[in-house]
Amino acid sequence: MLIDKKYILRFKGIQTPFYFYNIELLKETLQEIKREISFHKNYLVHYAIKANANPKLLQLIAQAGFGADCVSGGEIQRALKTGFSPSKIVFAGVGKSDWEINLGLDNDIFCFNVESEPELEVINELAKAKGKIASVAFRINPNIGAHTHANITTGLAENKFGIAMDDIERIIQKAERLSHVHILGLHFHIGSQILEMNDFIVLCQRINLLICQLKQNHHQLKHINVGGGLGIDYEQPDKHPIPNFSSYFNTYAKYLNLSDEQQLHFELGRAIVGQCGSLITRTLYVKQGATRQFIIVDAGMTDLIRPALYQAHHLIENLSSDGDLEKYDVVGPICESSDVFAKDILLPKTNRGDLIALHSAGAYGEIMASQYNCRPLPQNYTSEELSDVKP
C-alpha cells in the first residue's frame, strides 16, 4: 500500500475527488537532487512550474533554493508570489505575448529562452522602451526524436519549438547587433517522460558539435540549458518513488563537454513532483455490463486527463478493500467515451463507497484539471495538513 493507513482513515471524511500530496516524499526528492548536483560544478536546477503549480508545493521547492522554469506570464506571477527569486527564473514558450515579456522585464528575470527570430526582435523593442537590457538564451531545435509519447516530444524539426540549428549562427550575429538584448547561452528541451539515457547522450553530442562550431566563430556562451525530460516509474512507483538522479546528472557530466566557466541549467518538473501526488476518488457504482465490469468513480478526465490525452498508465489501488481480485474497467462520470482511467485491471472486489487512488499523479494532474461538464475543480490536501486531523 503506497499511502499510509493513517491518511486513508482521514480520507473517509473528505469530499472526493481530491489530490493528496506526500510532502515527506517531495522533501526527500528535493534533498536527493541537491545532493547529486553538489557533486558537479556549476549545476543549477529550475523547477518546471507547468508540471504542478500548487502553491503549497512551490513554496517548498523555492525554499529549497531551486529556480523556476516558466512558460507563461501567469507562471511567472505564481513563481514570484511563492518565493522564487527573479534571478533564478527562466521564461520559455513559443508564443510569448507582449504583457508577458514586459512582466519578465519589469521583474528583471534571469533569462528569456527565445524561440524565434521575430520574438527576439520584439523582446529587443520592448526592452528598449523600458530602457532595459534583456538577457536571452536561444532555444535550439536539435531534431532529436526522444523515446516517449509523440504528444510530448519537442525536439524534432517538425515540432513548433525552437530555432533550427542551421539558423542559429545567423540569429546570434543579429542579436549581437541589437542594443537591448544580452546573449547568455543556448537552451534545449527534447521531450518529457524520457527513461532512456541514450536520448540525453545524443543531445549532448549535438550540443558539443554546436558549441564547437560557435566557438570557432568567436561566440562564447556561458550558460547551457538542457531542459528537463527525466521520467518517473508509473508502473512500480512503490519501488522507485525517487528517480535515478545520479544516472541523469552523471550522463551530462560524462558526455557534455563544458568548460569550468560554463554553467549547466536543468528544467526538471515531473521528476520532482510526479510521485508525490495521488488522485483520491470514491466508487459511485459497480456496474456489470454485457461483457465488462465497470468501477464508476466520481473523478473523471476533468480531474486527471493524462489517460484520455496520452493513453497514460497510472497505478490504481483500492484503499478500502483487500478482497479477492476481480477484473474491472475503471471509468469516470464524464459524458465522453474517452473518460476511462484503465481497462481490464485486477483489483480487490470493489463496492460502492470504496476509496480508489490513482498514483503518480503529482505531475500534469491537478494543473491540467478543467471544469468541463460544469464540474468543480478538485481540492488538494497535503500529508502535513492531514497529519493532525482526527479520522
Tell me, rounded to whole angstroms, the distance of Cα 318 from its chain centroid.
Answer: 27
- Assess contact for 102 and 122: CB atoms under 8 A: no
37: Cβ contacts below 8 Å, ≥ 6 apart: 43, 44, 45, 249
pLDDT of residue 162: 79
Tell me how far apart the alpha carbons of residues 143 and 210 are, in angstroms, rounded to a whole number. 13
Tell me how far apart the alpha carbons of residues 146 and 115 are, in angstroms, rounded to a whole number. 19
| Cis geometry, peptide bond prior to residue 17 (ω within 30 degrees of 0) | yes
Dig out the grid coordinates for 230 from the structure.
527525466
pLDDT of residue 160: 56
The enclosing H or E element of 31 equals: helix 23-37
pLDDT of residue 281: 98
* Rounded to 5°, angle at Cα 138 from 261 and 76: 95
DSSP states along 96-161 = --HHHHHHHHHTT-SEEEE-SHHHHHHHHHHHHHHT--EEEEEEEE-----SS-GGGB--STTSSS
DSSP states along 261-314 = T-EEEEEESHHHHGGGEEEEEEEEEEEE-SS-EEEEES--TTT--HHHHH----
pLDDT of residue 219: 77
pTM comes to 0.94
Tell me how far apart the alpha carbons of residues 7 and 387 are, in angstroms, rounded to a whole number. 7
Tell me how far apart the alpha carbons of residues 218 and 231 are, in angstroms, rounded to a whole number. 36
Report CA-CA distances (Å) from 98 to 78, 95, 104, 114, 137: 18, 10, 10, 13, 18
pLDDT 10s digit of each residue in the chain, 391 long? 679 989 999 999 999 999 999 999 999 999 999 999 999 989 999 999 999 999 999 999 999 999 999 999 999 999 999 999 999 999 999 999 999 999 999 999 999 999 999 999 999 999 999 999 999 999 998 766 544 444 434 434 455 567 888 888 899 999 999 999 999 999 999 888 999 999 999 999 999 999 998 888 777 799 999 999 999 999 999 999 999 999 999 999 999 999 999 999 999 999 999 999 999 999 999 999 889 999 999 999 999 999 999 899 999 999 999 999 999 999 999 999 999 999 999 999 999 999 999 999 999 999 999 999 999 999 999 999 998 766 6
- Assess contact for 75 and 97: CB atoms under 8 A: no
What pairing do the DSSP bridges indicate for beta strands 355-358 and 316-318?
A: antiparallel
pLDDT of residue 190: 87
Tell me, rounded to whole angstroms, the distance of Cα 232 from its chain centroid.
Answer: 11
Tell me how far apart the alpha carbons of residues 301 and 286 are, in angstroms, rounded to a whole number. 18
Packing angle, helices 168-177 and 197-216, rounded to 10: 50
With 0-12 CB in 10 A as exposed, 13-18 as middle and 19+ as buried, what is 188? buried
Q: What is the dihedral of CA 151, 154, 158, 160, to 10 degrees?
A: 100
The residue whose grid cell reads 518538473 is 269
Domains of the chain: 23-273 (3.20.20.10), 275-386 (2.40.37.10)
